[in-house]
Chain A
């Protein structure tokens, strides 16, 4: 069976690498990007889940989410931030899949799996 493909966007290389390691250990395929622009340039072909940092140069997490939802409205998107002020902003409220750094890696993996199974059913 094909492993689901997860796209990961973060401008901090350390965080990006750690996310890749986490998701690979949970038997996902990953494709990592240093910016939203890089992801858009590459395309969403085969991507089943998107995990993105919010604060990034160029297109930030919120813009990226809006853009990919135009192409695939059902695509599960997880946004993460280290800035608690951003998490408290109006545009972040009521959104599923919103995470504050640092978060429990197992919880992220569980949430991603649940999103995929919800989508299949």
Chain B
């Protein structure tokens, strides 16, 4: 049938000519006579319909032939109605209807046609074409719609603010979270001129964001910008927005896709961190100390402002001298006399990880070396590896100077007190010597007088002369005793028995004691042998203590008794001189040079006595006597080997 229909030669009418013209353009065409009978249909179309022109022109009420073969039954009535109206009025025909394809499946076509006219203006025929306007099959469409829905859902449920614009930046889309979070719809972010309004950007950040976005749009480079973005509750949150262009096959930008991420917490954390870092930095910079940090190998990497100002050196200034930075720094700032030790100790700490502590001189910016104390310790990571050395340097110049001054002052004090005690001693010597010397002069005058009297009194002259010699000897004794005191020599020491020395002292004072109505009691163990001692000096001490005891009782009305006891106490002998006077008011001071309670005393007796006893390896001190008075006690070492 196809071939038959196709091989039939169509009549040469205007309509057929027009149809063939259309056929060349659209691929198919038809022509009818004035009353609507097909006189031509593109052969390929006839083949595809498995129909002939005759069958198409059969009466329309036949269900199995005619138009019903090319029009879906549901569309048939509308199409036939439209066709009948066009045949009657001559208006253009244009109807959409479903039409069976070669595979039997209906497709949507637009069938359109128009009349041709004869020379009298009457309708001579019709021509037209079917234009395939078919949408994809319904199942594919549903699938696509489903996919689109899922994509939409995905975009709307992603916790990110997503938007798109056209190539020129005109906003085209915002996802649901965008509107929920920012409170802004697509309209809200679109300016009246269709450009991006950036209405959600904080006014202070907007100009910069706009500039960056326009730059990206103009250059086609990705857009990234941080700014504060409006929130539905009225606040602004720090946001990072990125956008990339989407390009077609030719590489032309079709759209921009953007996403905004809330980085407010991140920024807040960064701010807090920065603030904390700044505070720490400020702390380090304002601490009244010189602070530095170094790498595990000792290379300096940080100096606090104070240290920089102190040294007048920046980190890099000692670089490039053919040495390491550490070496260059040390050579530049450490006093040459301390350099070797500093380097040795520093190297030791770096090698062992042990803390570093050293006092040395450090060169200040003005070239002055000042004493500092430097301490450094290693900072370790979780694995115990040294990651950094942190050091602190304290200027101790003032303390060092102060200490030096103090020790100088102490030295001066010692010297001057020595000088003072020497002066005092000179006065004592003068007094000690003056007494016998004065007697010598008196006796010599007397002697002269006895001899020059008329008649000369030889007997009295000789007696005066004898006493003169005694006094002169006693003056000589004083001088030699004093000389011995200064020499502090041991060559005068012998192994005399202590008891003898005590008895001699008592004998020396016996007359005086009797005169002052003082009873002296001597009590002592026998056979106390001391290590060799200077008997003159010890006797001098004893006499001094005994005289003091007597003086202490000069103004008391009760019984005046002076007890002298000597007995063994361990490896020492203990000698006590007890009086019953008024006691000692300043027991701590009485041994100090110049301290005296006597009008004519110079306060040297006890001081000298103590130095004598101590030079013998003993001690001298005062105690309280009961019920009244004082005890002056001294000890001397016993010669234990010779003791029974």
Contact = CB atoms under 8 A, between A and B. Distances in A.
Contacts of A67: none
Nearest to B461: A25
Contacts of A12: 435
B554 A57 contact: yes
A113 interface: no
B446 A105 contact: yes
Interface residues of A, number: 33
A26 B446 CA distance: 8
A15 B446 contact: no
Contacts of A58: 554-555
A117 interface: no
Contacts of B446: 18, 21-22, 24-25, 105
Contacts of A103: 438, 441
B474 interface: yes
Contacts of B438: 15, 18, 80, 82, 101-103
A7 interface: no
B138 interface: no
A45 B453 CA distance: 29
Nearest to B470: A14
B443 interface: yes
Nearest to A24: B446
A19 interface: yes
A25 B599 contact: no
B147 interface: no
A101 B433 CA distance: 10
A20 to B, nearest CB: 9
A119 to B, nearest CB: 23
Given A105-B442, A105-B445, A18 B453 contact: no
Contacts of A57: 516, 551, 554
B330 to A, nearest CB: 62
B467 A18 contact: yes
A85 interface: yes
Contacts of B439: 14-15, 17-18
Task: Summarize B's interface: helix, strand, loop or mixed.
Answer: helix
Interface string A42-72: 0000000000001111101000000000000
Contact of A83 (B444, B474, B551, B600): B600
Interface string B426-453: 0100110011111111111111111001
Contacts of B85: none
Contacts of A83: 427, 431, 600, 602
Q: Residue among A17, A54, A58, A105 with the most chain B CB within 10 A? A: A105
B437 A102 contact: yes
Nearest to B451: A25
B600 A18 contact: no
Contacts of B436: 14
B512 interface: yes
B511 interface: yes
B443 A82 contact: no
A86 B441 contact: no
Nearest to B550: A57
Going nearest first, the 8 A-B pairs with the smallest beta carbon separation are A105-B445, A55-B600, A18-B442, A25-B449, A18-B439, A82-B434, A25-B446, A101-B438
9 contacts: A18-B439, A18-B446, A25-B460, A25-B464, A55-B599, A60-B599, A101-B438, A103-B441, A105-B442
Given A25-B453, A57-B554, A104-B445, 13 more contacts: A14-B435, A14-B439, A15-B439, A18-B442, A21-B442, A25-B448, A25-B449, A25-B460, A58-B554, A82-B438, A83-B431, A83-B600, A83-B602
Interface of B: 427, 430-431, 434-450, 453, 457, 460, 463-464, 467, 471, 474, 511-512, 515-516, 551, 554-555, 599-600, 602
